[in-house]
């Protein structure tokens, strides 16, 4: 029978942290950087305290779910959210096969009265965790022989896309100089600052005033993660340059063979050359050398993501309320949503 407890991340023992890391390394389902102890530690160091729900089977750790209190009055009332909040591309239970429970069982035993979550992958149904309002997620499963073989296979499937991308790359070189791509930039600190500046300019230009990197705590999270050496939460800051000019960049997290394609951006001055496409192409070509077999684009469906995607799945969201107090907290959250339109 499962025994569930909630502990502050800072109170975990060395053995508990090691067992958590082992669950992630050995998992073949929820093997996502966002469920790693390294990511949780980075969130705790930059955004705020993190709690962990631990699921024990006898004396063995069988499941882990990191959470945090929501910001402001909602958190003070008792509303929780997945660790990292809106920054997090995946949430759920990192668990051994066969572990199954339901949301209320998990939260009640862990002393959590109300949880609002997004980005719960459909694969979490195997653990009994479900949600509503499905949203498409897209991935690129790379050819077993590597990125070059993948690109040639894509040429057969979508000749127009490949030839147009290559043509634009040639035009970019003709107009601005030779292209240089680095999977891991040799100048991570200034390049991360440049990426954040370009991303925030994009948010403001497109009317996305709630953009994640407009919040200093979220930028601090990226800076903290940039120092990680954990292969299950490895920072990947890739850049595309013409000479010394940054044309496009991407900051993501690699967990084993999976790369979370997290924060891509390009300099608007080069928009006519589709630099985002060129960057993804170069990343594909370099993927095998860096042990990347799948590139995950997270939630959302768009033409740009569809260009290279060959696999889709579903994310769900939900508001789980554990009576009695959870009904009060959840009601307040719903009222806040109605007021915000």
CATH code at 91? 3.40.630.30
The pLDDT value given to residue 30: 82
Are residues 224 and 147 part of one domain?
yes
Is pLDDT above 90 for 1? Answer: no
Are residues 191 and 103 part of one domain?
no
What share of the chain has pLDDT > 90, as a percent?
Answer: 95
What share of the chain has pLDDT > 70, as a percent?
Answer: 100
Report yes or no on 307 lying in a domain.
no
Q: Which residues pair with 253 in a beta bridge?
A: 235, 260
Are residues 114 and 98 part of one domain?
yes
Residue 106 to residue 125: CA distance in whole angstroms: 14
Are residues 170 and 278 part of one domain?
yes
- Mean pLDDT over 166-195 rounds to 97
Report yes or no on 19 lying in a domain.
yes
Q: Which two tokens stand for residue 149?
A: 């073989």
Are residues 240 and 196 part of one domain?
yes
Report yes or no on 274 lying in a domain.
yes
Report yes or no on 305 lying in a domain.
no
Report yes or no on 298 lying in a domain.
no
Are residues 257 and 151 part of one domain?
yes
Are residues 256 and 206 part of one domain?
yes
Is there a contact between 263 and 248 (Cβ–Cβ < 8 Å)?
Answer: no
Query: Which residue has tokens 């057969």?
Result: 156
Are residues 255 and 156 part of one domain?
yes
Structural domain of 19: 2-137+314-340
Tens of pLDDT, residues 33-54? 999 999 999 999 999 999 999 9
| Whole-prediction pTM | 0.96
Are residues 287 and 196 part of one domain?
yes
Residue 49 to residue 323: CA distance in whole angstroms: 25
Tens of pLDDT, residues 46-84? 999 999 999 999 999 999 999 999 999 999 999 999 999
DSSP annotation string for 191-257: HHHHHHHHHHHHHHHTT-TT-GGGSHHHHHHHHHHTT---TTSEEEEEEEEETTEEEEEEEEEEETT
Report yes or no on 190 lying in a domain.
yes
Report yes or no on 308 lying in a domain.
no
Report yes or no on 189 lying in a domain.
yes
Are residues 88 and 71 part of one domain?
yes
Tens of pLDDT, residues 125-170? 999 999 999 999 999 999 999 999 999 999 999 999 999 999 999 9
- Mean pLDDT over 212-234 rounds to 97
Is pLDDT above 80 for 187? Answer: yes
Residue 258 to residue 240: CA distance in whole angstroms: 21
Domain count, the chain: 2
Residue 271 to residue 248: CA distance in whole angstroms: 10
Are residues 230 and 323 part of one domain?
no
Are residues 334 and 230 part of one domain?
no
- Mean pLDDT over 13-26 rounds to 96
């Amino acid at each position: 029978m499962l025994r569930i407890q909630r502990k502050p991340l800072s109170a975990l023992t060395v053995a508990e942290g090691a067992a958590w890391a082992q669950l992630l390394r050995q998992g073949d389902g929820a093997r996502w950087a966002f469920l790693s102890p390294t990511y949780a530690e980075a969130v705790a160091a930059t955004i705020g305290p993190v709690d962990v729900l631990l699921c024990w089977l006898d004396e063995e750790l069988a499941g882990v779910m990191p959470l945090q209190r929501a910001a402001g009055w909602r958190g003070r009332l008792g509303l929780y959210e997945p660790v990292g909040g809106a920054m997090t591309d995946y949430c759920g239970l990192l668990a051994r096969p066969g572990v199954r429970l339901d949301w209320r069982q998990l939260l009640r035993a862990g002393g959590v009265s109300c949880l609002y979550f997004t980005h719960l992958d459909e694969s979490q149904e195997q653990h009994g965790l479900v949600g509503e309002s499905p949203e498409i997620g897209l991935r690129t499963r790379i050819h077993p022989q590597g990125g070059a073989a993948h690109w040639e296979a894509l040429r057969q499937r979508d000749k127009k896309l490949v030839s147009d991308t290559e043509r634009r790359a040639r035009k970019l070189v003709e107009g601005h100089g030779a292209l240089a791509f680095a999977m891991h930039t040799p100048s991570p600190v200034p390049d991360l600052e440049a990426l954040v500046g370009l991303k925030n300019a994009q948010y403001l230009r497109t009317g996305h005033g709630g953009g994640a990197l407009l919040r200093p705590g979220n930028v601090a999270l990226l800076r903290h993660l940039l120092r990680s050496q954990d292969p299950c939460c490895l920072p990947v800051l890739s850049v595309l340059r013409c000479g010394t000019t940054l044309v496009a960049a991407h900051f993501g997290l690699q967990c084993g063979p999976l790369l979370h394609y997290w924060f891509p951006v390009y300099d608007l001055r080069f928009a006519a050359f589709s630099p985002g496409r060129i960057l993804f192409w170069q990343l594909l070509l370099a993927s095998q050398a860096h042990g990347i077999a799948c590139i995950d684009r997270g939630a959302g469906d768009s033409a740009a993501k569809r260009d290279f995607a060959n696999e889709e799945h579903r994310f769900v969201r939900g508001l789980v309320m554990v009576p009695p107090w959870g009904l009060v907290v959840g009601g307040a959250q719903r009222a806040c949503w109605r007021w915000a339109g």
